[in-house]
Amino acid sequence: MRYLPINKSFFIQNREAFSSKLKKGGIAVFLSHDIYPTNADGTFPFRQNNDLFYLSGIDQEDSVLVLFPDASEEKHKTILFIKETNEHIAIWEGAKLNKVEARELSGIETVYWEKDFDKIIHILFLEAQSIYLNANEHGRAEKSVQTKEDRFTAYVKQHYPLHSIERSSPILHELRTFKNSAEIEQVSRACKITGDAFQRVLKFMKPGVYEFEIEAEIMHEFIRQRSSGPAYASIIASGKDACVLHYVANDKQCVDGELVLMDFGSAYGNYASDLTRTIPVNGKFTPRQREVYASVLNILKESAKLLQPGNTFEAYQTAVVRLVEDELIKLNLLDKEEVKKQDPEQPLYRKYFMHGISHFLGLDVHDVGNKKGEIKAGMLLTCEPGIYIKEEGIGIRLENDILITPQGPKNLMEFIPIEIEEIEALMKS
């Protein structure tokens, strides 16, 4: 693996926490992702199933984790199945993990080859009272492709129809919402790499460069520092395209006098970072750009202060809306009296700020978590306000990654330049 591994104690603790929430006689199965084909004999790069990684630390295809805390045999309470290397694999791909390496990474003593899974799981299912199956239950997930988990769920329902079927996702969503020190260390490393990439861009940026050249500079810094690459598709949007929220074409030339919005983040050890900065192509903001930028920056600073333990997500969202409305009025984009009379179901600010202010961050850039109820210590959230004025060709978004601590919000990106003066000074140098 490219990244430095997490200590196995982290995965042991995660398995213990998950297993403690299973019903009596419950058995849970987690499968690695498929390797998806491109064309001919090509494949996309493998990305491990986040839940399997969270519980095992195994970052390899054709892996299965079984948790059965009430198993009659001690060795079957936790089982890892991994792919066995043969001569063909060794020559063409390189050797896979052996059992000793898998034990060291995961802290799991019972390791079998994946080819033995069907035989062993049948015996264990007959002993179990209920079967916990996993699925991608993210609220924004689009279920357009059948996964290995989907196929296994169908198989279990067909062959073990008298067993009670339970869902693993609600348990894992609760656990993964709260980050411990090992996870914060991974995200912080990802943020450091992302910050270095941004500093690299500040020195590189000038009129005439193409958006994809900026993306290349970012990618160079990512790979140089052990990152597996971007945690999501990088957005490098100059001029009016900064008003397109998920612009990923990155194929335009950057024009003197315009802004370039860059939303990118490195992945490190499967953990994501998520940064947005907006800078002037020529190194100096125009008066109007400076005015709008200052408004977005003020919203960011004041919004981040609201990410306090005990505050509710509903109250947080309401307060952010007030901040946005106030800034849009100052910018002469909204009329104060019209705002007072607006339809609450169709608020006027949505014309200029049409996305959410925060999302969970972790193994996914849009990580699992429940944004109902209270904000609590241990949560890791982005804070990313923006103002998009399509008619002026100005789109500005700023984003930091915020850890909620018992003492309040901690900005994991506080070292990354964001003030107007420091941006201009760094670009000038």
Which amino acids are annotated catalytic? Answer: 41, 246, 263, 274, 355, 359, 366, 384, 388, 397, 399
State the Cα–Cα distance between residues 375 and 312, nearest whole angstrom: 6
Token digits for 18?
Answer: 């998950």
| 130 Cβ contact list (under 8 Å, min separation 6) | 23, 25, 26, 27, 163, 164, 165, 166
Partners of 26 in beta bridges: 130
Q: pTM for the complete prediction? A: 0.96
Q: How far apart are CA 400 and CA 379, in angstroms?
A: 14
Q: What integer pLDDT is reported at residue 251 of this predicted model?
A: 98
**231 in Cβ contact with 273 (< 8 Å):** yes
What integer pLDDT is reported at residue 429 of this predicted model?
A: 86
DSSP 209-245: -BHHHHHHHHHHHHHHTT--EESS--EEEEGGGGGST
Which has the closest alpha carbon to 77: 132, 130, 140, 26?
Answer: 26
Task: Report the C-alpha gap between 121 and 71 in whole angstroms.
Answer: 12
> How confident is the chain (429 residues) per 10-residue block, as mean pLDDT?
94 98 98 95 95 98 98 98 93 94 98 97 98 94 90 97 97 98 98 98 98 98 97 98 97 98 98 98 98 98 98 98 98 97 96 97 97 96 98 98 98 98 96
* Cα–Cα separations (whole angstroms), residue 315 to 329, 353, 374: 21, 18, 9
CATH 3.40.350.10 domain locations along the chain = 8-177
Q: How far is CA 370 from the centre of its chain?
A: 15
pLDDT in tens, 231-270: 999 999 999 999 999 999 999 999 999 999 999 999 999 9
Pairing outcome for strands 164-167 and 229-230: unpaired
Q: What is the pLDDT of residue 36?
A: 93
Would you state the structure tokens that stand for residue 87, as one six-digit string? 């001569």
Q: Using alpha carbons, select from 404, 375, 398, 387 the residue that is nearest to residue 316.
A: 375
Is residue 103 a contact partner of residue 109, using CB atoms and an 8 Å limit?
Answer: yes
Query: What topology is assigned to 8-177 in CATH?
Result: Creatine Amidinohydrolase; Chain A, domain 1 (3.40.350)
Query: Phi-psi region for residue 400, left (φ > 0), alpha (ψ -120 to 50) or beta?
Result: beta
Task: Summarize the chain as % helix, strand, coil (round to 5).
Answer: 40, 20, 40
What pLDDT is stored for residue 129 in this prediction? 97
Looking at residue 139, what is its pLDDT?
87
CA 282-241-330 angle, to 5 degrees, is 75
CATH 3.40.50.720 assigned to domain 181-428? The reply is no
Residue 78 pairs with which residues in a beta bridge?
Answer: 67
Q: Which residue intervals of the chain bear CATH 3.90.230.10?
A: 181-428
How far is Cα 259 from Cα 388, in angstroms, rounded to an integer?
12
Residues 6+ apart with CB under 8 A from 258: 238, 239, 280, 281, 393
